[in-house]
Amino acid sequence: MLADLDERGLVHDTTDRQALQALLAEPPAVLYLGIDPSASSLHLGNLIGVLVLRRFAEAGHRPLALVGGATGMVGDPSGRSDERNLLDAETLESNVTSIRRQYARFAGVAEADVVNNYDWTAPVGVIEFLRDVGKHVTVSQMLARESVRSRLGSEQGISYTEFSYMLLQAFDFWWLHTHHGCRLQVGGSDQWGNIVAGIDLIRRRSGSVAHGLTWPLLTRADGQKFGKTAEGTMWLDSERTLPFDLHQYLLRTDDADVARLLAQLTLLPMAEVREISAEAARAPERRLAQQRLADEVTGFVHGAEAVSRANLAAEALYGTAELSGEMLDALEGIVVQTRATGDDLAGPEALVGLLVASGLCSSRGDARRQLAQSAVSVNRTRVVQSEVDPGWLIDGRYLLLQRGRRERRLVLVDP
């Protein structure tokens, strides 16, 4: 298990390596990964951890997927330069429900093993918490944490609320160890301080040995956070990020990143990852590794049909093959649609009318100017005429209009 994680570049820090190997040598070991419900969906950056849990599950271990209903009320200062906005109870509860559903599906864990730390944290009173948890953690230990040090030196500082986050996460590890026999916590490298705090709390309160393992944070070759774009975050919920957009984001992966991401964001065996990477190195212009990465991740998250539609839509928008009704049907939800009738296609300025009705042009005069400047394409071919050629209709009902390089509308002609 550790050798496979090593080869995938998924080991950053561990506690005693030999002891950890001994723990994992005899499944099932119980381990956990925590994710706070700061949003209604997991995002692409979370997928690396979710897949780590799945790898452990497939190796015969028992992963616990923790949703931080309690810690989500506080906010982890890790990786933050300012204080998080606290979520109201209704939003937090809704987020917890959504995250739990995704967690169980993607991590491959039993529903009973998706746990919420609010269940065991809420009943604990502040005096009890300070005596049973705070007593065992020193302030110097908390101040030594990089995320705390950086915030203390910042203009915004750090509130006691976020400062106490480490105690809550340590309590989670102790509780799961006591009630579920959990002996390993995994997470991103920014969680190492929190994980060690939990290991120390277990040792001090229970006299037991627990372990930690972290992986490097997911970044691109240029140092930017993976899964972030100028338009926002790549979410795993299709209502927040279209499968097509996720697929396109992965297709644009830099050559320097793609082999690592194939290893970390897919369940492909490493032997196959090496084969794909070697083939891609021989012909990088074909972007075979990027295509496989996009197909594998999108398929895992959204299913095979979403992959097929994403590829058909990409071919319709950017390809050179002759357009088909199947391709244009795949553009639903990706390109704004405009409905028209047969009457709308008749007349010497029918195309002018469609350009205005679709919103591609602001007025009939604007439409005429765009046509005169060869700025309009129909079905990927530039046109200057103002009437609609009946031969343009694909499958008797589709027209793909385009203005410039990026603005597109799909016209659906009602029978």
Nearest to 214 by CA among 12, 1, 9: 12
Q: How far is CA 184 from CA 31, 166, 411, in A?
A: 4, 17, 55
Whose CA is closest to 402, among 372, 345, 361, 369? 361
Q: Which two tokens stand for residue 50?
A: 């979710």
Question: What distances in angstroms separate CA 77 from CA 134, 142, 148, 191, 215, one per listed residue?
Answer: 18, 12, 7, 10, 18
Rounded to whole angstroms, the Cα distance separating 320 from 124 reads: 63
Please state, in angstroms and rounded to a whole number, the distance separating the CA atoms of residues 46 and 191. 13
Q: What are phi and psi of 111, to 5 degrees?
A: -60, -35
Cα separation, 318 vs 400, in Å, equals 12
Residue 81's pLDDT is: 46
- As a 3-state breakdown, the chain gives helix, strand, coil percent values, each rounded to 5, of 50, 15, 35
Cβ atoms of 56 and 63 closer than 8 Å:
yes
Q: How far, in Å, CA of 177 to CA of 199, rounded?
A: 10
- The per-residue pLDDT string of the chain (415 residues; one tens digit each, 9 = 90 and over) reads 999 999 999 999 999 999 999 999 989 999 999 998 989 999 999 999 999 999 999 999 999 999 999 988 887 666 554 555 677 888 999 999 999 999 999 998 888 899 999 999 999 999 999 999 999 888 888 888 777 777 777 777 788 888 888 899 999 999 999 999 999 999 999 999 899 999 999 999 999 999 999 999 988 877 787 888 777 899 999 999 999 999 999 999 999 999 999 999 999 999 999 999 999 999 999 999 999 999 999 999 999 999 999 999 999 999 999 999 999 999 999 999 999 999 999 999 999 999 999 999 999 999 999 999 999 999 999 999 999 999 999 999 999 999 998 899 999 999 7
